[in-house]
Amino acid sequence: MTGFTAALVLVVATAGLLRWRRLAWYWLTFGVTLALLRVLVCYGSVMDACGLTVPAPRWRLAVARMTNSAVPGPRAPRILRVRPTRTGLVLRLKLRPGQDAFDVAASCDRLRHSFAMYGVTSREVRSGVVELRMTGYDVLKRVQMPGKVDTRPMRVPVALREDGAVHYRDYRAVPHGLTLGATESGKSVYQRNLVAALAPQRVALVGIDCKQGVELFPLARRFSALADNQDTAAELLDALVSHMEDVYQLIRAEQRITADVPDAEIAADIWSLPDDLRPVPIVVLVDEVAELALYATKDEEKRRDRIITALARLAQLGRAAGIYLEICGQRFGSELGKGITMLRAQLTGRTAHRVNDESSANMAFGDIAPDAVLAAIQIPTDAPGIAITGDSSGGWARIRAPHTSLRQAVNICNRHADLTPDLPALAPFRPLVGIPAPAPAPAVESTPAAA
Ligand SMILES: Nc1ncnc2c1ncn2[C@@H]1O[C@H](COP(=O)(O)OP(=O)(O)OP(=O)(O)O)[C@@H](O)[C@H]1O
Ligand SMILES: [Mg+2]
């Protein structure tokens, strides 16, 4: 008996300690079993209390009357599947006649409290089938990406969603993206995660970092071209536009279409070319985009117009040539001058980190999802990296990228430096030409002690 009591105390103490210090481990060891039991045992009564039941069908009531048996009670949606995950539970429900997905979505908060879960979201899988994703703890507090992610060419995992799913940046589905956020809200860390995720792929990275290059230049070994000031940025963007035109010529030649066909009529893209002919896709990362649009003198104004025109052309025509824009900034609205709203309209993927005012959030979501605007304003200041992102279904989700340090990103970029393609059109902007590669990074990523 004493041995049993000691074992019980040990188990309870371990559970308590894990719950206090390591929520993810607690979930995998104790939490998932307890939650599963709670959901399966209380399912019927919780659904009834949350108003998610329907009365029994008439024929069953009639049969009960005829056979003088007990009157069947109201029925909850049928559970098709329960799947425990590393962060929560996924329930697939078959709705009863008369119910709709909106009923379930409207009850998510009630279900969250009733099942004592951290978060519950729902989505319609197909007509009559709804998926409830429950999270057992705050997965965004300390983001840990799952070991196995579904990475494909030009589709990289970049953050975790609050429902525990991985958020992917899919350049072929959503070619251009805009990331907004106040200062210190986590934009550069998000962009760094993108670079680290793209580094092992066959892709050319081009960076424009008008903060004197502090964010992107340390990652230079994996970049095919970099610019750290407005003048170089203008020339680099012009070079990209001419590269884009060369790619179009190549596609036309492959299509056997005569050179007289105007660009806008070309329907194909680089992905329809044979592998050996396909030009390498390019991701253009712009940090602090407002720096490119500000000017003080007449000359600077001309340069600004040149930059914005080139960006707008790349946004409009770049996708087919495999050029994808990833633009980051604190604000990106009409106060930055002409051409900005036109450019913004081309940037389909929207992500907003913490913003200081509604108008900044409106720049990201005002025209897409008004409730996402509210969610972006509500991001707390003590949680940098949390962001709202529009998703392909027209909805939105809260995400947070893992905290990749600059040192980790540099190591990843250096490790994959041999994958950096040489693009002749961008050769003048290739950083670190002639500088030998550094010694391999130490296995332990610690700050070296001062000599
Ligand atoms: N996903 C994250 N998880 C944890 N901490 C984060 C995350 N993203 C950012 N941070 C913290 O917030 C700090 C600021 O992040 P970052 O430099 O990306 O902000 P920013 O929006 O680019 O700011 P600025 O506009 O001034 O360049 C980082 O140094 C880091 O400590
Ligand atoms: Mg930054």
In CATH, what number is assigned to the domain containing residue 39? 3.30.980
Mutate to test the pocket of ligand 1, among 145, 179, 188 (most ligand atoms within 8 A of CB): 188
R_g of the chain computed on alpha carbons: 27
- Tell me if 140 is assigned to some domain: no
How many Cβ atoms sit within 10 Å of the Cβ of residue 306? 16
**How far is CA 240 from its chain centroid?**
26
Claim to verify: residue 97 and residue 210 sit in the same structural domain:
no
Cα of 56 vs centre of ligand 2, distance in Å, is 58
pLDDT, position 264? 55
Tokens 């500000």, residue?
294
Claim to verify: residue 270 and residue 317 sit in the same structural domain:
yes
Claim to verify: residue 41 and residue 106 sit in the same structural domain:
yes
- Residue 186 labeled ligand binder: yes
- Tell me the pLDDT tens digit for each residue of 5-64: 888 888 888 888 877 877 778 888 888 899 999 999 999 999 999 999 998 888 888 898
pLDDT, position 261? 60
- Tell me the pLDDT tens digit for each residue of 424-449: 889 899 887 666 666 655 555 554 44
Residue nearest to atom 9 of ligand 1 (CA): 186
Cα of 287 vs centre of ligand 2, distance in Å, is 7
- Residue 395 labeled ligand binder: no
- Tell me if 446 is assigned to some domain: no
Closest atom of ligand 1 to CA, residue 211: 27
- Tell me the pLDDT tens digit for each residue of 294-308: 888 888 899 999 999
157: three-class secondary structure by DSSP: strand
214: three-class secondary structure by DSSP: coil
Q: Which two tokens stand for residue 217?
A: 């230049």
Tokens 């409009």, residue?
316
- Tell me if 145 is assigned to some domain: no
Let me know the angle formed at the C-alpha of 349 by 344 and 355, rounded to the nearest 5 degrees. Answer: 75
Tell me which residue range forms the domain holding 229. 155-429
Claim to verify: residue 164 and residue 268 sit in the same structural domain:
yes
Contacts of 350 (CB under 8 A, 6+ apart): 177, 178, 180, 364, 365, 368, 389, 390
- Tell me if 25 is assigned to some domain: yes
Q: Count up the domains in the chain and report the number.
A: 2
pLDDT, position 328? 93
* Predicted confidence (pLDDT) at residue 369 exceeds the cutoff of 50: yes
Is 196 or 150 the better-scoring residue by pLDDT? 196
In CATH, what number is assigned to the domain containing residue 277? 3.40.50.300
Claim to verify: residue 334 and residue 281 sit in the same structural domain:
yes
Its sign, for the CA torsion 202, 159, 173, 93, is positive
Q: Decide: residue 123, CB within 10 A, 0-12 exposed, 13-18 middle, 19+ buried.
A: middle
Q: Which ligand is nearest to the CA of 192?
A: 1
Closest atom of ligand 1 to CA, residue 183: 25
- What is the CB < 6 Å shell around ligand 1? 181, 183-189, 330, 384-385, 400-401, 403
Claim to verify: residue 127 and residue 208 sit in the same structural domain:
no
Q: Which ligand is nearest to the CA of 180?
A: 1
Residue 187 CA: distances (Å) to CA of 21, 194, 333, 403? 28, 11, 17, 11
- Residue 185 labeled ligand binder: yes
Claim to verify: residue 207 and residue 102 sit in the same structural domain:
no
- Tell me if 248 is assigned to some domain: yes
- Residue 322 labeled ligand binder: no
Claim to verify: residue 244 and residue 278 sit in the same structural domain:
yes
Q: Which amino acid is at 186?
A: G
* Predicted confidence (pLDDT) at residue 140 exceeds the cutoff of 80: yes
Cα of 404 vs centre of ligand 1, distance in Å, is 10
